[in-house]
Chains A and B, each alone.
Chain A
C-alpha cells in the first residue's frame, strides 16, 4: 500500500454533509445524501457504485456541472474554499487549472471543429496567460508524455480523425496541462476496449505518481479499481456505504453490499464455477426503501435494518462502513456480529 500523507495536513478536497437534490415532475429525487468524503493530496481514490448510486452526480456537483433542476447543500471545500459558494467566474479559475475532469466520452470534452493544437493551447493561454508559441510547445510536450504516437502530426488534426483511445489520451493531456492538483475521471475507460483500457490506466498510474496529482476515479468496475486506487469509497443509493484502503476492502469487505459486489464479478485469472449475484436491483430514488437502502437485497437484513438507517461509522482506523452488522475481522477485537448468519 502506498504511504498515507500525514493526517494533520488538511485534505485537498473535503465534502461535508454534501447533498444533491433534483426536482422532477414525479417528485424530488435525493441523488446524494449527507456525504462526508476527503481526498488527500496525491491520493488515488476510487468511487465505486452502480447506476443511480450518485457517484457521478457527486463530482458533477463539485465541478458545478449539474443540470438546472438540481440543488446542492453542505460544503465542498477545495483547499479550504467552499466551491458551492463561489461565483461561476471564481469557479472557472479553479476548474481546468487546479482541478480537472475527464469524462467517459472524450468527445464531450473536445470541440469537433477545432484542431487538437488549438484546444490544448487555449487552456494554457486562459489559465496561465501563455503566448501561443509557448502554449503550443507545451501542448506538444504533453501529448508526447501521454504516449500519443507521432504527436507532431496528431496535434494538427481534428478530434474525429483520431481513435477513441487516442481521444481519451488527448483529454487526459488537456486535463494535465495546467498541472492540476486534482483530476476527477468519470468512467474514463468504460467506452474503450480492454487493451486500450489497460494503456489508459497505466498512463493514469504513471502520471499521478510522478506529479503528485490526486485522482478520483469514478467507476462501476471493481476490477479497474484494484490495480490503481489507494482508497475505495463504495456508494449505494446516494450514500457512502463503505470506505477502506484498497487491500482491506478486497480482503475483508465490511458491508454486505461490498462483499456481494466483489463476489458477483467473474475472474479472468481463474476458473470459477459460478458467481453469486445480488438479487433484486438498485432502489428507485423516488421511493427509497426505509432503513438501510440495501436491506431489500441483503441476505443478512434484520428488523433493525428495515427500520433504521445505519450511520457511516469508523470501524477501524481508515475504515468506515454504514451497516448495523458489519463483517469485522476477528483480530480487530470486535465481535463478528453476524457470524452466525453469515457462517453456518
Chain B
C-alpha cells in the first residue's frame, strides 16, 4: 500500500473522474423502446396487420363493391354466396348485398367505437390526473362521484340516453363514451398517485415548477403506456356494447347497419341462410381477436417487467 504514497497530487483529476462512456446505438426514448418491443412481437404485429386491413376495407371497401348497402337486387333474394353473381357474401332476405352491408356495418361499428373511446380517454385522463394530483379531499370527493356513477345501472342510463339521443347513433355513442370513462379515470388516478410520489416529480417541485406544468410535463407523458393499453381494451368493449344494443334493437336503425345489427338478423336465419350470421360474425370475431392481441402486445411493450 505504501507503494502509492505521494501519488495523490498527480491524480487530482482522476479523483473526480469522468464517466462519459456513451451508451451504444441511437438515443432510445421510452416510447421508441416500447415500439421496438412491439415490433418484435409477432402475434401482435400480425394482429395489427389484420386490423389495419379490416379498417382499410371498412373505409374504402364500400366504394369498390358494385352494390350499395340499402338497394335491393330484385333478381337475388336470400341468395347464397356466389362468384358469378358478384354477391360474394350472398344477399339478405331483402336482396341487399351482404358484402356491402358487412363493410358498411364494420365502418359504423368502428366509428362508434372510436367516438366513444376518444370521449372516454379525454374525460378519463383529465379527471383521473386532476383527482390523483390534487389528492386529499378533492380526490376523495371526485372518486366518490365515480363510485356513485358505477353504482347506477348501465342499462338504465342507456335507455335514458336512447330517449334523449335515439335519433342520432353517433351522439348516442358519444354519450356511452361518457359512461365508459369511469374505469379510465380510476386507472389514471392510481397511476398519477404513484407517479406523484416519484422522485423526479419531487425534483421538479424542488426546482419550482408549477403544479399545472408538472401534470403536463411529467405526469401525462408517463401515463401514455397505461392509457394506450386501456384504450386498446376499450375499443372492443364498445364494439361489443354496440353489437349488444343493436342486437336488442336499440342501436343502429335500418337501413343503416352495424356488425351487431347484421349478426342479430343473421341469427334469425340460422339453418336457412347461415351466411347471414357467418360473415358478419366472422368479421367481428376476427376484429376482436386482433384488438385483443394488439392490446396484449402493447401491454408487454410498455410494461416489460409485468410480463
A and B touch in the complex (CB under 8 A): yes
B18 part of interface (Cβ distance < 8 Å): yes
Interface size class of B (residues with CB under 8 A): 10 to 19
Contacts of A263 in B (CB 8 A): 1, 4
A6 part of interface (Cβ distance < 8 Å): no
- Give the residues from 260 to 309 in chain A that come closer than 8 angstroms, CB to CB, to chain B: 262-263, 274, 276-277, 279-281, 287, 299
Interface SS majority for chain B: loop
Q: A43-51, A139-147, A188-196, A336-344: which one contacts chain B? A: A336-344
Please measure, in the bound complex, the distance between the C-alpha atom of A277 and the C-alpha atom of B4, giving whole angstroms: 14
Contacts of B14 in A (CB 8 A): 276-277, 279, 299
A89-110 to B contact mask, C-beta < 8 Å, 1/0: 0000000000000000000000
Please measure, in the bound complex, the distance between the C-alpha atom of A263 and the C-alpha atom of B6, giving whole angstroms: 14
Interface size class of A (residues with CB under 8 A): 20 to 34
Please measure, in the bound complex, the distance between the C-alpha atom of A199 and the C-alpha atom of B175, giving whole angstroms: 64
Please measure, in the bound complex, the distance between the C-alpha atom of A24 and the C-alpha atom of B190, giving whole angstroms: 33
* B1 contacts A252, C-beta separation under 8 Å: yes
Contacts of A276 in B (CB 8 A): 8, 11, 14-15
A259 part of interface (Cβ distance < 8 Å): yes
A314 CB to nearest chain B CB (Å): 21
Return the chain A residue nearest B13 by Cβ: A279
Contacts of B19 in A (CB 8 A): 279-281
A234 CB to nearest chain B CB (Å): 16
A251 part of interface (Cβ distance < 8 Å): yes
Known pairs A280-B21, A281-B21; A342 contacts B15 (CB<8 A): no
* B3 contacts A339, C-beta separation under 8 Å: yes
* A259 contacts B15, C-beta separation under 8 Å: no
* B3 contacts A327, C-beta separation under 8 Å: yes
B14 CB to nearest chain A CB (Å): 6
Q: Pick from B6, B15, B17, B18: contact of A344, CB below 8 A.
A: B6
A120 CB to nearest chain B CB (Å): 33
Please measure, in the bound complex, the distance between the C-alpha atom of A252 and the C-alpha atom of B2, giving whole angstroms: 9
Please measure, in the bound complex, the distance between the C-alpha atom of A274 and the C-alpha atom of B11, giving whole angstroms: 12
| 4 further interface pairs, Cβ-Cβ under 8 Å (given A274-B15, A276-B14, A344-B6) | A259-B4, A276-B8, A277-B17, A339-B3
* Residues in chain A within 8 A of chain B (CB atoms): 25, 251-253, 259, 262-263, 274, 276-277, 279-281, 287, 299, 327, 336, 339, 342-344
Q: Please name the 9 residue pairs, one residue from A and one from B, whose CB atoms are nearest each other, closest first.
A: A342-B3, A279-B17, A277-B17, A343-B3, A279-B14, A274-B15, A327-B3, A281-B19, A344-B7
